[in-house]
Amino acid sequence: MKIFYAVQATGNGHIARAKELIPYLQRYGQVDVFLSGNNSNLKVDLPVKYQSKGLSLFYGNKGGLDYWKMAQELSLFNIIKEARELPVDRYDLVVNDFESITSIACKIKRVPSIGFGHQASFKSKLTPRPISKDRIGEYVLNMYAPASKYIGLHFEQYDNFIYSPIIKEQILAANPTNQGHISVYLSHYSDEVVASYLNQVPSQRFHLFSSFHLFSKKEKTVNQRGNIIYMPIDNALFTQSMINATGVITGAGFETPAEALYLNKKLLCVPIKGQYEQLCNAAALQNFGVPIVSTLKADFTKQIENWLNVTTQKKLEIEWSTASIVEKLMEEAASLQEQKEIIDPFELNHLSLKFR
Protein backbone atom coordinates (compact mmCIF):
# COMPACT_ATOMS: atom_id res chain seq x y z
CA MET A 1 0.00 0.00 0.00
CA LYS A 2 1.19 3.52 -0.83
CA ILE A 3 0.09 6.11 1.73
CA PHE A 4 0.12 9.87 1.18
CA TYR A 5 0.22 11.66 4.56
CA ALA A 6 -0.37 15.42 4.53
CA VAL A 7 1.02 17.16 7.62
CA GLN A 8 0.23 20.74 8.56
CA ALA A 9 3.46 22.36 9.81
CA THR A 10 1.76 25.37 11.37
CA GLY A 11 2.79 25.02 14.98
CA ASN A 12 4.35 21.93 16.52
CA GLY A 13 1.43 19.66 17.34
CA HIS A 14 0.83 18.18 13.88
CA ILE A 15 4.51 17.28 13.44
CA ALA A 16 4.76 15.78 16.92
CA ARG A 17 1.70 13.65 16.18
CA ALA A 18 3.07 12.57 12.79
CA LYS A 19 6.31 11.35 14.38
CA GLU A 20 4.31 9.01 16.60
CA LEU A 21 1.85 7.93 13.92
CA ILE A 22 4.12 7.19 10.94
CA PRO A 23 5.83 4.05 12.35
CA TYR A 24 2.36 2.51 12.76
CA LEU A 25 1.29 3.55 9.27
CA GLN A 26 4.48 2.05 7.86
CA ARG A 27 3.31 -1.36 9.06
CA TYR A 28 0.72 -1.15 6.28
CA GLY A 29 2.94 0.16 3.49
CA GLN A 30 5.12 2.97 2.16
CA VAL A 31 4.41 6.41 3.66
CA ASP A 32 5.26 9.63 1.80
CA VAL A 33 4.79 12.89 3.69
CA PHE A 34 3.59 16.18 2.25
CA LEU A 35 4.75 18.91 4.65
CA SER A 36 2.77 22.13 4.33
CA GLY A 37 3.64 25.31 6.22
CA ASN A 38 6.88 26.86 7.40
CA ASN A 39 6.60 28.03 10.99
CA SER A 40 7.02 24.98 13.19
CA ASN A 41 9.86 25.09 15.71
CA LEU A 42 10.40 21.33 15.85
CA LYS A 43 13.04 19.43 13.91
CA VAL A 44 11.25 17.62 11.08
CA ASP A 45 12.43 14.01 11.15
CA LEU A 46 9.81 12.61 8.76
CA PRO A 47 9.86 10.87 5.35
CA VAL A 48 9.09 14.14 3.54
CA LYS A 49 8.70 13.68 -0.22
CA TYR A 50 6.70 16.84 -1.02
CA GLN A 51 6.86 20.26 0.62
CA SER A 52 5.07 23.59 0.35
CA LYS A 53 4.89 26.92 2.14
CA GLY A 54 1.17 26.19 2.34
CA LEU A 55 -1.20 28.32 4.38
CA SER A 56 0.56 29.13 7.65
CA LEU A 57 -0.53 30.87 10.82
CA PHE A 58 1.93 33.40 12.23
CA TYR A 59 1.88 34.89 15.72
CA GLY A 60 2.90 38.26 17.10
CA ASN A 61 4.61 38.58 20.45
CA LYS A 62 1.63 39.72 22.55
CA GLY A 63 -0.67 36.72 22.39
CA GLY A 64 -2.37 37.07 19.01
CA LEU A 65 -2.14 36.22 15.33
CA ASP A 66 -0.05 38.29 12.91
CA TYR A 67 -2.67 38.82 10.19
CA TRP A 68 -0.42 41.07 8.09
CA LYS A 69 2.29 38.43 7.78
CA MET A 70 -0.34 35.77 7.06
CA ALA A 71 -1.74 37.90 4.23
CA GLN A 72 1.75 38.51 2.81
CA GLU A 73 2.41 34.76 2.66
CA LEU A 74 -0.92 33.90 0.98
CA SER A 75 -0.96 33.17 -2.78
CA LEU A 76 -4.18 31.63 -4.05
CA PHE A 77 -2.70 31.11 -7.52
CA ASN A 78 0.22 29.08 -6.14
CA ILE A 79 -2.07 27.06 -3.90
CA ILE A 80 -4.25 25.95 -6.85
CA LYS A 81 -1.15 25.30 -8.97
CA GLU A 82 0.38 23.13 -6.25
CA ALA A 83 -2.90 21.29 -5.73
CA ARG A 84 -3.04 20.41 -9.43
CA GLU A 85 0.55 19.13 -9.32
CA LEU A 86 0.19 17.12 -6.11
CA PRO A 87 0.07 13.42 -7.15
CA VAL A 88 -2.59 12.25 -4.69
CA ASP A 89 -4.07 10.04 -7.44
CA ARG A 90 -0.96 7.83 -7.38
CA TYR A 91 -1.63 6.64 -3.83
CA ASP A 92 -3.86 3.97 -2.33
CA LEU A 93 -4.69 6.07 0.72
CA VAL A 94 -4.61 9.81 1.43
CA VAL A 95 -4.47 10.80 5.11
CA ASN A 96 -4.93 14.52 5.68
CA ASP A 97 -4.08 16.19 8.99
CA PHE A 98 -5.85 19.52 8.38
CA GLU A 99 -3.96 20.51 5.21
CA SER A 100 -5.87 22.56 2.64
CA ILE A 101 -3.78 22.00 -0.53
CA THR A 102 -4.21 18.24 -0.25
CA SER A 103 -7.94 18.72 0.23
CA ILE A 104 -8.14 20.81 -2.95
CA ALA A 105 -6.01 18.29 -4.85
CA CYS A 106 -8.31 15.44 -3.83
CA LYS A 107 -11.33 17.47 -4.93
CA ILE A 108 -9.86 18.29 -8.33
CA LYS A 109 -8.71 14.72 -8.99
CA ARG A 110 -11.72 13.07 -7.33
CA VAL A 111 -9.59 11.12 -4.88
CA PRO A 112 -11.13 10.07 -1.54
CA SER A 113 -9.28 11.01 1.63
CA ILE A 114 -9.50 10.63 5.39
CA GLY A 115 -9.37 13.75 7.52
CA PHE A 116 -7.32 12.76 10.55
CA GLY A 117 -6.41 14.58 13.73
CA HIS A 118 -7.70 17.00 16.30
CA GLN A 119 -9.45 19.38 13.89
CA ALA A 120 -11.40 16.44 12.46
CA SER A 121 -13.17 16.09 15.82
CA PHE A 122 -14.95 19.41 15.22
CA LYS A 123 -17.04 17.76 12.52
CA SER A 124 -19.19 16.67 15.46
CA LYS A 125 -21.62 19.11 17.02
CA LEU A 126 -21.03 17.28 20.31
CA THR A 127 -17.42 18.49 20.54
CA PRO A 128 -17.20 21.32 23.14
CA ARG A 129 -17.43 24.92 21.95
CA PRO A 130 -17.26 28.23 23.84
CA ILE A 131 -20.54 29.81 24.94
CA SER A 132 -20.24 32.36 22.13
CA LYS A 133 -19.64 30.56 18.87
CA ASP A 134 -17.64 32.24 16.12
CA ARG A 135 -19.27 31.73 12.70
CA ILE A 136 -16.04 32.39 10.83
CA GLY A 137 -14.15 30.07 13.16
CA GLU A 138 -16.73 27.34 12.65
CA TYR A 139 -16.51 27.81 8.89
CA VAL A 140 -12.72 27.47 8.93
CA LEU A 141 -12.83 24.31 11.05
CA ASN A 142 -15.38 22.75 8.70
CA MET A 143 -14.17 23.98 5.31
CA TYR A 144 -10.40 24.47 5.55
CA ALA A 145 -9.56 20.84 4.80
CA PRO A 146 -12.70 18.77 4.07
CA ALA A 147 -12.33 15.06 3.41
CA SER A 148 -14.44 12.03 2.54
CA LYS A 149 -14.32 10.52 6.05
CA TYR A 150 -12.93 11.56 9.41
CA ILE A 151 -10.98 10.15 12.35
CA GLY A 152 -10.97 12.74 15.12
CA LEU A 153 -8.80 13.04 18.24
CA HIS A 154 -9.81 14.88 21.40
CA PHE A 155 -9.51 14.87 25.19
CA GLU A 156 -12.64 12.70 25.48
CA GLN A 157 -14.69 10.59 23.06
CA TYR A 158 -17.48 13.06 22.36
CA ASP A 159 -18.68 11.14 19.27
CA ASN A 160 -18.27 7.69 17.71
CA PHE A 161 -15.51 8.79 15.28
CA ILE A 162 -13.47 10.60 17.96
CA TYR A 163 -10.62 8.81 19.74
CA SER A 164 -7.98 9.45 22.40
CA PRO A 165 -5.04 11.83 21.89
CA ILE A 166 -1.90 10.27 20.45
CA ILE A 167 0.57 10.47 23.31
CA LYS A 168 4.33 10.22 22.76
CA GLU A 169 6.00 6.96 23.82
CA GLN A 170 8.34 8.98 26.03
CA ILE A 171 5.32 10.26 27.96
CA LEU A 172 3.57 6.88 28.10
CA ALA A 173 6.67 5.22 29.54
CA ALA A 174 7.53 8.04 31.96
CA ASN A 175 7.61 7.87 35.74
CA PRO A 176 6.56 11.47 36.57
CA THR A 177 8.25 13.25 39.44
CA ASN A 178 7.81 16.67 41.02
CA GLN A 179 11.08 18.59 41.02
CA GLY A 180 9.40 21.89 41.86
CA HIS A 181 9.57 23.83 38.59
CA ILE A 182 6.85 25.02 36.21
CA SER A 183 7.29 24.28 32.48
CA VAL A 184 6.17 27.29 30.43
CA TYR A 185 5.54 27.31 26.68
CA LEU A 186 3.70 30.37 25.37
CA SER A 187 4.99 30.77 21.81
CA HIS A 188 2.46 33.53 21.07
CA TYR A 189 4.19 35.84 23.58
CA SER A 190 7.77 37.06 23.64
CA ASP A 191 10.11 35.95 26.41
CA GLU A 192 10.27 39.51 27.69
CA VAL A 193 6.50 39.68 28.17
CA VAL A 194 6.24 36.30 29.88
CA ALA A 195 9.32 36.84 32.04
CA SER A 196 7.98 40.16 33.33
CA TYR A 197 5.23 38.19 35.09
CA LEU A 198 7.22 35.13 36.13
CA ASN A 199 9.84 37.34 37.78
CA GLN A 200 7.12 38.53 40.16
CA VAL A 201 6.95 35.05 41.69
CA PRO A 202 10.64 34.85 42.81
CA SER A 203 10.10 31.83 45.07
CA GLN A 204 8.94 29.70 42.13
CA ARG A 205 11.31 28.23 39.54
CA PHE A 206 10.26 28.26 35.88
CA HIS A 207 11.53 26.57 32.72
CA LEU A 208 10.64 28.98 29.92
CA PHE A 209 10.53 27.62 26.36
CA SER A 210 9.96 30.11 23.58
CA SER A 211 10.79 30.86 19.95
CA PHE A 212 11.37 34.50 20.98
CA HIS A 213 14.54 34.04 23.03
CA LEU A 214 15.48 36.75 25.52
CA PHE A 215 19.20 36.53 24.80
CA SER A 216 19.26 35.71 21.11
CA LYS A 217 16.84 34.26 18.58
CA LYS A 218 19.70 31.91 17.63
CA GLU A 219 20.38 30.84 21.23
CA LYS A 220 20.82 27.06 21.43
CA THR A 221 21.87 26.63 25.04
CA VAL A 222 20.19 26.70 28.44
CA ASN A 223 20.55 30.01 30.32
CA GLN A 224 19.38 31.03 33.77
CA ARG A 225 18.46 34.51 34.96
CA GLY A 226 16.94 34.83 38.40
CA ASN A 227 14.13 32.31 38.96
CA ILE A 228 13.81 31.52 35.23
CA ILE A 229 15.77 28.97 33.22
CA TYR A 230 15.45 29.86 29.53
CA MET A 231 15.29 26.78 27.31
CA PRO A 232 15.69 26.49 23.53
CA ILE A 233 12.81 24.85 21.65
CA ASP A 234 13.52 21.15 21.75
CA ASN A 235 10.93 18.39 21.88
CA ALA A 236 12.91 16.03 24.10
CA LEU A 237 14.02 18.83 26.43
CA PHE A 238 10.48 20.12 26.88
CA THR A 239 9.08 16.63 27.41
CA GLN A 240 11.63 15.88 30.12
CA SER A 241 10.95 19.24 31.78
CA MET A 242 7.22 18.50 31.80
CA ILE A 243 7.65 14.97 33.18
CA ASN A 244 9.51 16.39 36.19
CA ALA A 245 7.44 19.55 36.64
CA THR A 246 4.96 20.66 39.28
CA GLY A 247 2.80 22.11 36.53
CA VAL A 248 2.60 23.40 32.98
CA ILE A 249 1.60 26.82 31.61
CA THR A 250 0.88 26.81 27.89
CA GLY A 251 -1.60 27.79 25.18
CA ALA A 252 -4.91 26.01 24.69
CA GLY A 253 -3.60 23.77 21.93
CA PHE A 254 -4.11 20.04 21.93
CA GLU A 255 -0.96 17.91 22.22
CA THR A 256 0.78 19.67 25.13
CA PRO A 257 -2.36 20.01 27.31
CA ALA A 258 -3.20 16.36 26.58
CA GLU A 259 0.27 15.24 27.68
CA ALA A 260 0.17 17.38 30.81
CA LEU A 261 -3.23 16.00 31.81
CA TYR A 262 -2.10 12.45 31.11
CA LEU A 263 0.93 13.00 33.37
CA ASN A 264 -1.49 14.41 35.97
CA LYS A 265 0.36 17.74 36.07
CA LYS A 266 -1.31 20.96 37.07
CA LEU A 267 -2.22 22.83 33.91
CA LEU A 268 -2.97 26.50 33.23
CA CYS A 269 -3.82 27.61 29.68
CA VAL A 270 -3.65 30.96 27.87
CA PRO A 271 -5.42 30.60 24.48
CA ILE A 272 -4.06 32.39 21.41
CA LYS A 273 -6.17 35.48 20.73
CA GLY A 274 -8.35 35.13 17.66
CA GLN A 275 -7.79 31.39 17.24
CA TYR A 276 -11.22 29.81 17.57
CA GLU A 277 -9.96 26.25 17.86
CA GLN A 278 -8.08 27.17 21.03
CA LEU A 279 -11.21 28.73 22.50
CA CYS A 280 -13.02 25.45 21.78
CA ASN A 281 -10.20 23.52 23.46
CA ALA A 282 -10.42 25.86 26.42
CA ALA A 283 -14.11 24.98 26.82
CA ALA A 284 -13.19 21.28 26.86
CA LEU A 285 -10.30 21.83 29.27
CA GLN A 286 -12.55 23.60 31.76
CA ASN A 287 -14.40 20.29 32.12
CA PHE A 288 -11.11 18.91 33.45
CA GLY A 289 -10.85 21.72 35.99
CA VAL A 290 -8.15 23.59 34.04
CA PRO A 291 -8.13 27.37 34.66
CA ILE A 292 -8.22 29.46 31.48
CA VAL A 293 -6.56 32.89 31.34
CA SER A 294 -7.78 34.99 28.42
CA THR A 295 -4.67 37.18 28.22
CA LEU A 296 -1.58 38.13 30.20
CA LYS A 297 -2.35 41.21 32.27
CA ALA A 298 -1.66 42.72 35.68
CA ASP A 299 -3.32 39.98 37.72
CA PHE A 300 -1.60 37.08 35.91
CA THR A 301 0.93 36.71 38.72
CA LYS A 302 -1.89 36.35 41.23
CA GLN A 303 -3.60 33.82 38.99
CA ILE A 304 -0.41 31.73 38.94
CA GLU A 305 -0.20 31.80 42.74
CA ASN A 306 -3.88 30.81 43.13
CA TRP A 307 -3.46 28.03 40.60
CA LEU A 308 -0.45 26.60 42.43
CA ASN A 309 -2.28 26.67 45.75
CA VAL A 310 -5.78 25.41 45.06
CA THR A 311 -6.19 23.84 41.59
CA THR A 312 -7.40 20.25 41.35
CA GLN A 313 -7.81 18.66 37.95
CA LYS A 314 -9.10 15.47 36.35
CA LYS A 315 -6.48 13.14 34.86
CA LEU A 316 -6.72 12.34 31.15
CA GLU A 317 -7.40 8.66 30.49
CA ILE A 318 -6.20 7.03 27.26
CA GLU A 319 -8.83 4.58 26.04
CA TRP A 320 -7.43 4.04 22.54
CA SER A 321 -3.80 3.20 21.82
CA THR A 322 -2.05 4.58 18.74
CA ALA A 323 -2.07 1.09 17.19
CA SER A 324 -5.84 0.73 17.69
CA ILE A 325 -6.49 4.20 16.24
CA VAL A 326 -4.48 3.30 13.13
CA GLU A 327 -6.51 0.09 12.85
CA LYS A 328 -9.68 2.20 12.80
CA LEU A 329 -8.06 4.43 10.19
CA MET A 330 -7.38 1.42 7.99
CA GLU A 331 -10.94 0.18 8.43
CA GLU A 332 -12.18 3.52 7.12
CA ALA A 333 -9.69 3.31 4.26
CA ALA A 334 -11.04 -0.10 3.29
CA SER A 335 -14.60 1.19 3.30
CA LEU A 336 -13.58 4.05 1.00
CA GLN A 337 -12.14 1.58 -1.47
CA GLU A 338 -15.45 -0.29 -1.51
CA GLN A 339 -17.46 2.81 -2.37
CA LYS A 340 -18.26 3.22 -6.03
CA GLU A 341 -19.15 6.87 -5.73
CA ILE A 342 -17.56 9.51 -3.50
CA ILE A 343 -19.66 12.49 -2.57
CA ASP A 344 -17.63 15.66 -3.06
CA PRO A 345 -17.10 17.25 0.38
CA PHE A 346 -17.21 20.80 -1.04
CA GLU A 347 -17.38 22.55 -4.40
CA LEU A 348 -14.35 24.18 -6.03
CA ASN A 349 -15.44 24.15 -9.67
CA HIS A 350 -15.22 27.91 -9.93
CA LEU A 351 -11.61 27.82 -8.71
CA SER A 352 -10.54 24.97 -10.97
CA LEU A 353 -12.08 26.69 -14.01
CA LYS A 354 -10.52 30.03 -13.15
CA PHE A 355 -7.00 28.62 -13.09
CA ARG A 356 -7.19 26.35 -16.16
Residue 350 pLDDT grade (very low, low, confident, very high; cuts 50, 70, 90): very low
Q: What average pLDDT does the chain have?
A: 86
pLDDT at 53 over 80: no
What is the average pLDDT across 243-270? 96
2-167+320-354 matches 169-310 in fold: yes
Class of domain 2-167+320-354: alpha beta
Domain assignments of the chain as residue spans, ordered by start:
2-167+320-354, 169-310
Taking residues 270-288, report their average pLDDT: 94
Q: What is the band of 39 on the pLDDT scale with cuts at 50, 70, 90?
A: low
- Summarised one tens digit per residue, pLDDT across range 184-211 is 999 889 899 999 999 999 999 999 997 6
pLDDT number for residue 215: 45
How much is the pLDDT for 235?
86
pLDDT computed for residue 354 by the predictor: 40
SS (H, E, C) the chain: CEEEEEEECCCCHHHHHHHHHHHHHCCCCEEEEEEECCCCCCCCCCCEEEEECCCCCCECCECEECHHHHHHHCCHHHHHHHHHHCCHHHCCEEEEECCHHHHHHHHHHCCCCEEEECHHHHHCCCCCCCCCCCHHHHHHHHHCCCCCEEEEECCCCCCCCEECCCCCHHHHCCCCCCCCEEEEECCCECHHHHHHHHCCCCCCEEEEECCCCCCCCCCCCCEEECCEEEECCCHHHHHHHHHCCCEEEECCCCHHHHHHHHCCCEEEECCCECCHHHHHHHHHHHCCCCCECCCCCCCHHHHHHHHHHHCCCCCCCCCCCHHHHHHHHHHHHHHHHHCCCCCCCCCCHHHHHHCC
In the structure, what pLDDT confidence band is assigned to residue 55 with cuts at 50, 70 and 90?
low
pLDDT of residue 65: 47
Topology (CATH) of 169-310: Rossmann fold (3.40.50)
- pLDDT tens per residue across span 288-342: 999 999 989 889 999 999 999 877 789 999 999 999 999 999 999 999 887 644 4
